[in-house]
Chains A and B, each alone.
Chain A
């Protein structure tokens, strides 16, 4: 049973936690605030926290300079597509591992995970060549496939841990009730695993959204997602803080909003299903 805690103690906890929370969040907050300042106010010494002339000018300048909507669309397509493709491949695989385990299941799982540790730079040039051969360079489809492969081990692993929480007897009951394998997965397993699948989907969407090695190296003008959009601000525009902030805010806002609305699944997802 929880013990009652003195109010004093609670006040100290609250103050400490909020202070640390705000400190960790501060860079994001500051970036968002700066995006509404003029360039002069953005580098003002001493820094201005809230009392400046709020302006939306930076956003329109950023939009004029580069077509935000196209980058955004590419990001959504690549992150969404790779996640959904990954789920389609991973759900059957995770079903097999969780409910028909063999002696090799764990080895296969760990092997899959270890493919994620292969250094991407080691295979950059071959992939580059293959992409040129297949005409996939600077295409959203090519990037979607690569990101699917990159995240597949994580998707399989997460689904596996979620599926394992589902008692095998329920699937056996479905089998006894006359369900085919397809019905078993479609009508019994998937609905029961919806929370786990949602968490997996969210987390992998975010990982794909933020992936910055392949997206930077395999795209040019056409297929570039937001990671590339923002990288183009590294210099010399990086010195224009307000515009850099506006662009940054535009790049992270979709994910921050998504994260805000789906907090519960996300928190579950962020633990990769590994800790209960």
Chain B
């Protein structure tokens, strides 16, 4: 539905966005790639020349590498599972007739507005502190020994904090999808003799497929990048070092740019694998 004229106009109008993003992607990435092949310690002698794949080998053979990959996957996967499952349940509940639906909806989406540094600090101190935290009080009230959340169950705690932040998003998208389900379809299935659980699995869940894909895609984008939640709570201690955080430490704390850059390239490759995988699904779903 277009003419040559409008197509060339379209290319012109797309150019700024494409060029900006291309520059934003390529320039720093090329630099990172360059650094990853060099021994570069800004505080200890600066750039000490070409070292080939040394940094890559060292980064992978470091004892922190595989645990960090594992932690990344656990955090991303854990949060995805929790938010999608509870999101669906919550969406189904909020779809039911009730009083004050609007207010409940505001209450549920509120955590999304809280900046990650704030939620991390509040959870860490006011709730999870083993002495004065609210959970500690609660545990003592029931006669139990307070849990040292961020050291004894550190990864789980972070998964919980991050899930709290992202549950609103999942719920809202899924709720919108649930509300768009044609009521007659459900009634037809009821006439066909489907029981509530069957209706859920055969009608509702397939209808939500697209919404779930969107939730997974967008959350993965943001979850791969979580930083403040770890930075503020454990600083990467107690097994909460994600791949991103490990690289951050190599670059900023040990000031080993070469090693950190090699890690960065690994992270980019990993992100690309995830991206290709996700884009495949989403690309298909976007057409539908």
Chain A interface residues (CB < 8 Å from chain B): 1-2, 5, 9-10, 13-14, 16-18, 20-22, 24-25, 27-28, 30-31, 34, 43, 45-47, 89-90, 92-93, 95-97, 99-100, 102, 106, 108, 110, 112-127, 129-130, 149, 152-153, 156, 168, 172, 181, 206, 209-210, 212-213, 216-217, 226-228, 230-231, 233-234, 238-239, 241, 244-245, 248, 251-252, 255-256, 259-260, 263, 266-267, 270-272, 274-276
Taking a contact as CB atoms under 8 Å apart, the answer to whether A238 and B210 are in contact is no
Taking a contact as CB atoms under 8 Å apart, the answer to whether A24 and B25 are in contact is no
Nearest CB of chain B from residue A133's CB, rounded to whole Å: 11
B contact patch SS: helix
Taking a contact as CB atoms under 8 Å apart, the answer to whether B105 and A267 are in contact is yes
Chain B positions 188 through 228: 1 when the CB is less than 8 Å from some CB of chain A, otherwise 0: 00000000000000000000001100100110110011011
Partner of B117, one of A113, A120, A212: A212
Nearest CB of chain A from residue B74's CB, rounded to whole Å: 17
Taking a contact as CB atoms under 8 Å apart, the answer to whether A90 and B221 are in contact is no
Nearest CB of chain A from residue B286's CB, rounded to whole Å: 7
Nearest CB of chain B from residue A276's CB, rounded to whole Å: 6
Interface size class on chain B is 35 or more
Taking a contact as CB atoms under 8 Å apart, the answer to whether B124 and A213 are in contact is no
Contact A126/B17 with A30-B126, A117-B274, A275-B214 known, Cβ cut-off 8 Å: no
Q: When chains A and B are docked, how far (Å) is the Cα of A115 from the Cα of B221?
A: 10
Taking a contact as CB atoms under 8 Å apart, the answer to whether A248 and B121 are in contact is yes
Partner of B13, one of A93, A152, A238, A252: A93
Contact A123/B20 with A45-B137, A270-B112, A275-B214 known, Cβ cut-off 8 Å: no
Taking a contact as CB atoms under 8 Å apart, the answer to whether A112 and B118 are in contact is no
**Ranked 5 nearest A-B pairs via Cβ:** A122-B264, A92-B13, A212-B228, A123-B28, A96-B10
Inter-chain contacts of B62 with A (CB < 8 A): none
Partner of B18, one of A108, A120, A206, A255: A108
Taking a contact as CB atoms under 8 Å apart, the answer to whether B283 and A125 are in contact is no
A contact patch SS: helix
Taking a contact as CB atoms under 8 Å apart, the answer to whether A27 and B107 are in contact is no
Inter-chain contacts of A213 with B (CB < 8 A): 225, 227-228
A250 closest partner in B (C-beta): B118
Taking a contact as CB atoms under 8 Å apart, the answer to whether A259 and B14 are in contact is no
Nearest CB of chain B from residue A191's CB, rounded to whole Å: 18
Nearest CB of chain B from residue A10's CB, rounded to whole Å: 6
| CB within 8 Å of A: which B1-48 residues | 1-2, 6-7, 9-11, 13-14, 16-18, 20-21, 24-25, 27-29, 31-32, 35
Partner of A238, one of B110, B124, B243: B124
Q: When chains A and B are docked, how far (Å) is the Cα of A123 from the Cα of B267?
A: 10
Contact A251/B106 with A93-B13, A117-B221, A122-B265 known, Cβ cut-off 8 Å: no
Taking a contact as CB atoms under 8 Å apart, the answer to whether B121 and A110 are in contact is no
Taking a contact as CB atoms under 8 Å apart, the answer to whether A20 and B90 are in contact is yes
Nearest CB of chain B from residue A247's CB, rounded to whole Å: 8
